[in-house]
Amino acid sequence: MHDRTKSLQPQSRYPGYDVLSKRNGPSWNEQTRREIARRLSIDREPRFFSREEFETVTAIAARIVPQQGSCPAIPVASLVDRKLHEGISDGYRVPGMPREGEAWRLGLQALDAEAKAAHGARFHTLAEAAQQSLLQRMEGGELRRPEWGSMRSADFFRRRMGRDIVLAYYAHPAAWSEIGWGGPASPRGYVRLDFDERDPWEAAEASGADDMTVRRVNRHVR
């Protein structure tokens, strides 16, 4: 597996910033370091999803949280797979929505059935435009094949699939570098809390500033 513990993909809004530079500094405690290491070392082989289901989840994630390159920095499908494999639950669900794992299996089966009915092929094999169209119709509640059972397609999109994918994306350090976040504020915390104020251990944003100046600042954020 590729080692992602060194440098994460560069981002233009916070040039020169890599949240992993905080790993051995005073910003993170040992619990945070252990959890970050766990997220970075995730196995990219599915343990909850079947291989076919995993292909569909990967294709969905590429439409909802697109990333550059053939090997994305954030393994969204693997993070969702781990959550379901470990039985991590939100603790609630809307009427007609099965439990997390069952809802995912039902939704993926129904989405593939919709793809085959509309285009004659499984979702992950379709062109991006066709995939996007099906997801938009799902979000609007327009997908109603019998395979959905009692679960409404719009509920699956908003309450389960979209939610899990976005949360998985922003749980990963590569996304933190993208948005300039420094991770949990423990034990250091934050001091400058007024609008547009930045603690020295927070990333500087390039908006309206010289890129090289910001890059020099961000290289020293710890």
CB atoms within 10 A of CB 217: 20
Give the C-alpha separation, 153 to 136, whole Å: 11
Structural domain boundaries in the chain? 19-41+175-218, 51-170
Check if the beta carbon of residue 162 is closer than 8 Å to that of residue 60.
Answer: no
The residue among 64, 155, 60, 77 whose CA lies nearest residue 115 is 60
Q: Distance between CA 3 and CA 193 in Å, rounded?
A: 35
Average of per-residue pLDDT across 196-202: 81
Count Cα atoms within 13 angstroms, Cβ side, for 44: 13
Q: What pLDDT does 8 receive? A: 43
Q: In Å, what is the CA distance from 95 to each residue of 103, 121, 153, 156, 163?
A: 12, 31, 13, 11, 17
- Are 184 and 32 a contacting pair, CB within 8 Å? yes
- Sequence-ordered list of residues with C-beta below 8 angstroms from that of 222, at least 6 positions apart, any chain: 21, 22, 25, 26, 27, 201
Q: What is the pLDDT of residue 209?
A: 60
Query: Which pLDDT band holds residue 206 (cuts at 50, 70, 90)?
Result: confident
Q: In which residue are the tokens 């969204």 written?
A: 76
Distance CA 26, CA 16 (A): 20
Cβ proximity of 134 and 143 under 8 Å: yes
Scanning 24-161, the segments in alpha helix (DSSP H) are: 30-40, 51-64, 76-85, 100-119, 128-139, 153-155
pLDDT digits (tens, 9 = 90+) for 47-93: 999 999 999 999 999 999 999 876 778 999 999 999 999 999 988 88
Stretch 20-39: mean pLDDT: 92
Q: Phi and psi dihedrals of 98, rounded to 5?
A: -65, 175
Instruction: Report CA 172 to chain centroid distance, whole Å.
Output: 7
User: Which of 7-11, 97-101, 120-124 has the lowest average pLDDT?
Assistant: 7-11
Query: If pLDDT is split at 50, 70 and 90, which confidence band does 214 have?
Result: confident
pLDDT at 70: 63
